[in-house]
Amino acid sequence: MKKIEIYTLDYCPFCQKAKFFLDDKKVKYEEIPCEDNEDEMRKILTEKFNLKSLATFPQIVIDGVNIGGYTDLIEKYNSGEISLV
């Protein structure tokens, strides 16, 4: 089983969409809420995953590899580039 982490903000519509998608696929994931220290978490995630620009939310990580946000999740899933199981 894949280890999936999703860094979220409670007011973020794309975070909600990503969680709904994963829930719909019956995939277990760990949600890491970031609203208490949003600015710091953006910096931490940007550095941790060597992103070219400041991290946005959600950030989805599968088995330690950052795959990006909601749109990236859907594109990579639909193309077969990633598996959720």
List, for residues 55-83, the tens digit of each pLDDT value.
Answer: 999 999 999 999 999 999 999 999 999 99
Q: Quickly count helices (H) and strands (E) in the chain.
A: 3, 4
How high is the pLDDT of residue 1? 84
* DSSP β-bridge partners for residue 66: 61
Amino acid at 59: Q
Within 10 Å of residue 45's Cβ, how many Cβ atoms?
20
Name the residue ranges covered by the structural domains of the chain. 4-79
pLDDT of amino acid 40: 97
Q: Is the pTM of this model over 0.85?
A: yes
How much is the CA Rg of the chain, to the nearest whole Å? 12
- The residues with which 62 forms a beta bridge, in sequence order, are 4, 65
In tens, the pLDDT along 18-51 reads: 999 999 999 999 999 999 999 999 999 999 999 9
Domain 4-79: which CATH number of 3.40.50.1390, 1.10.1660.10, 3.40.50.620, 3.40.30.10:
3.40.30.10
Helix locations, 4-51, DSSP H: 13-24, 38-48
